[in-house]
Structure 1
Amino acid sequence: MPEGDVLLRVARRLSLALGERPLVRGELRWPSLAGHDLTGLRSVGTVSYGKHLLTRLDDGRTLHTHLRMDGSWQVRHTADPPEPLRRPNVRAVLGTDQWTCVGLQLGMMDLVRTRDESSLLRQLGPDLMADEPDFERAVINLRAAPERPIGEALLDQSVAAGIGTIYLAETLWAHRVNPWRAVSGVNRPRELFETAHRLMRRSADGPSLTATGDTRAGHTTHVHGREGRGCRRCRTLIVVAPIGVEPMTRPAYYCPTCQPD
Structure 2
Amino acid sequence: MPEGDTVLQTAARLHQALAGRALTRSDLRVPRFATADLTGRTVLDVTARGKHLLTRVEGGLTLHSHLRMDGAWRVFAPDEPWRGGPGHQIRAVLANAEHTAVGYRLPVLELLRTSEESRAVGHLGPDPLGPDWDPGLALDRLLAAPERPVGDALLDQRNLTGIGNVYKCELCFLARVTPWLPVGALPDGVLTRLITLTERLLHANRDRPARTTTIASDLRAPPSPAPDAAAPGRPRARPPVRVQERLFVYGRARRPCLRCGTPIRSADQDGRPTYWCPGCQSGPTR
TM-score, normalised by the number of residues in structure 2: 0.83
Structure 1 residue 208 displacement after superposition: 3.8
> Which residue is 1:205 aligned to?
207
- Distance across 2 between alignment mates of 1:82 and 1:49: 27
Equivalence map 1:191-230=2 (5 Å): 191-213=193-215, 219-230=245-256
| Residue from 227, 244, 254 that aligns with 2:276 | 254
Whether contact under 8 Å (2:165, 2:274) holds in the other structure is yes
Question: Runs (4+) of structure 1 moved beyond 4 Å?
Answer: 80-83
Structure 1 residue 81 displacement after superposition: 11
- Distance across 1 between alignment mates of 2:153 and 2:81: 49
Structure 2: gaps spanning 5 or more residues: 217-242
Structure 1: gaps spanning 5 or more residues: none
Structure 1 residue 213 displacement after superposition: 4.1
Q: Given the alignment of the two structures, is residue 52 of structure 1 paired with residue 78 of structure 2, yes or no?
A: no
Equivalence map 1:115-130=2 (5 Å): 115-130=115-130
Structure 2 residue identity aligned to 1:33: F
Equivalence map 1:1-261=2 (5 Å): 1-79=1-79, 87-131=87-131, 133-186=133-186, 187-188=188-189, 189-213=191-215, 219-244=245-270, 249-261=271-283
1:121-164 deviations in Å (ceiling 9; x for gaps): 12221112215611111112112211111011111111111111
| SS in structure 2 at match of 1:88 | helix
Structure 1 residue identity aligned to 2:255: R
CA spacing shift, 1:80–1:126, aligned 2, 3 Å? closer
Structure 1 residue identity aligned to 2:206: A
Whether contact under 8 Å (1:149, 1:180) holds in the other structure is yes
- Distance across 2 between alignment mates of 1:16 and 1:111: 21
The answer to which of 183-192 and 91-100 deviates more is 183-192
Structure 1 residue 41 displacement after superposition: 1.2
| SS in structure 2 at match of 1:147 | coil
Whether contact under 8 Å (1:76, 1:100) holds in the other structure is yes
Structure 1 residue 88 displacement after superposition: 1.5
- Distance across 2 between alignment mates of 1:52 and 1:121: 8
CA spacing shift, 1:130–1:82, aligned 2, 3 Å? closer
Whether contact under 8 Å (1:199, 1:212) holds in the other structure is no
Whether contact under 8 Å (1:143, 1:184) holds in the other structure is yes
- Distance across 2 between alignment mates of 1:135 and 1:80: 43
Structure 2 residue identity aligned to 1:97: A
1:20-42 deviations in Å (ceiling 9; x for gaps): 11111111111111110111111
- Distance across 2 between alignment mates of 1:29 and 1:207: 29
| SS in structure 2 at match of 1:171 | helix
- Distance across 2 between alignment mates of 1:17 and 1:173: 38
Structure 2 residue identity aligned to 1:252: T
| SS in structure 2 at match of 1:92 | strand
Identity across the alignment (%): 43
Cα RMSD over matched residues? 2.2
Whether contact under 8 Å (1:176, 1:258) holds in the other structure is yes
| SS in structure 2 at match of 1:120 | helix
TM-score, normalised by the number of residues in structure 1: 0.91
Whether contact under 8 Å (2:4, 2:129) holds in the other structure is yes
CA spacing shift, 1:34–1:204, aligned 2, 3 Å? same
| SS in structure 1 at match of 2:152 | helix
- Distance across 1 between alignment mates of 2:24 and 2:193: 46
- Distance across 1 between alignment mates of 2:267 and 2:101: 37
1:22-80 deviations in Å (ceiling 9; x for gaps): 11111111111111011111111111111100011122211100011110001111128
- Distance across 2 between alignment mates of 1:226 and 1:80: 38
Whether contact under 8 Å (1:203, 1:213) holds in the other structure is no
Whether contact under 8 Å (2:73, 2:103) holds in the other structure is yes
